[in-house]
Amino acid sequence: MVEFETDIPEDILQFLYDLGSEYEFDPISSFESEKYFLSLLDEFKTLNGSELFKALSERVQQDFVALNGVYPDWIQSSDWQFNDGKPMIFIGQLEKDYNKLGISSAIVFYTFYDKETGDVKTVSQFD
């Protein structure tokens, strides 16, 4: 098992993993994700304990938005997209089954949107 280092304290990281299971993100799945959460910790540096966890929870609920409240159903690990340091809005996903050389498989396209810039990102995952 490969272990990754992060500057996010272990107790906060565990809390973020728990939030991530609800909002379908992984706090250290990418450099952008980790950077976003470290910036939140810096913003909330005067808070601790339950006040910090409450502030993190409220910000995650505000920033990790899924159109119509339907969050990604990842077939691999979370790959939530970020733009300009903030999570993008999850628009939806499209799954396509295919058969190649007698092996059935699927590809899923996940689309994200930044309402401030108009940027769109699509990532794909294969099963």
Mean pLDDT, all residues of the chain: 94
Residues 6+ apart with CB under 8 A from 123: 79, 81, 109, 110, 112
Q: Are 64 and 25 in contact (CB under 8 A)?
A: yes
| pTM of this structure | 0.89
Q: How far is CA 70 from CA 65, 73, 89, 90, in A?
A: 9, 9, 11, 8
Q: Are 74 and 81 in contact (CB under 8 A)?
A: no
Q: Are 96 and 120 in contact (CB under 8 A)?
A: no
For residue 125, how far is the Cα from the chain centroid?
Answer: 15
Q: What is the pLDDT of residues 7-64, one digit of tens each?
A: 999 999 999 999 999 999 999 999 999 999 999 999 999 999 999 999 999 999 999 9
DSSP state of 120: E
Look at residue 1 and tell me whether its pLDDT is greater than 50: no
- Quote the pLDDT of residue 4: 67
Tokens 């089954």 belong to which residue?
A: 97
Specify whether the backbone of 92 is left (phi greater than 0), alpha (psi in -120 to 50) or beta.
Answer: left
Name the 3-class secondary structure at 9.
Answer: coil
